[in-house]
Amino acid sequence: MVFAVRLTVSIITVVTLAMYLVCTTTDYWHATEYHNTLHRQSVIQGTHSGIWNGCYVRDHKELCGHIHREGHWLRAVRAFMILGIVANFVAMLVALMGLLREDICYHIVGYTLLVNAIFIMIGLSIYAGKSGIPFKRNIEEGYFAWSFIVSWITWLLTIVACVIAFLDDCIGERPTFQHE
């Protein structure tokens, strides 16, 4: 039973690390779309950006570049996301070592995942609060794109792995006392 729990935590940490890497590096945290009809042709244009690059799209042609005029809040988002990824990597290594050796204190995985979740939550919350994206359905004003949303879903998976790692000691074998 303990091996199954540790295997579950290990799989979740590997998956969340991959998802955090994809979400942090992609350019789909924020997006806008404009549908114009010019000269009887439908012109699709818009923008999408992440925490590193911004892109402009017109007629299915994309022009991307590094975000040069970022605010301090965007640097903070980058820093917290990177710190979260590092903490997730450490948790993954300890979780994988816990599969091979039973003497590893598995609470370390839980605490590291908790630190990871805190860093990621701070980074995502700063982005949500400072990006200026309205919580409306008007896509011309912009909306949170798939990468930002998947980051929150991955954060929830991290919380699940954290709870399972803390419950590992509860599920593990305990010494039994014999009556004399």
pLDDT of residue 11: 95
pLDDT tens profile 130-147:
876 655 555 556 788 889
**Reduced to 3 states, what is the DSSP secondary structure of residue 39?**
coil
pLDDT band at 93, cuts 50/70/90?
very high
**Rounded CA gap, 40 and 76, in Å?**
45
pLDDT of residue 77: 93
DSSP alpha helices (H): ranges in 101-175?
A: 107-130, 146-171
Phi, psi of 134 (to 5 degrees): -75, 150
pLDDT band at 15, cuts 50/70/90?
very high
DSSP alpha helices (H): ranges in 26-145?
A: 72-100, 107-130
What's the pTM value of the predicted model, to 2 decimals?
Answer: 0.81
pLDDT band at 175, cuts 50/70/90?
very low
> Domains along the chain?
1-29+71-172 (1.20.140)
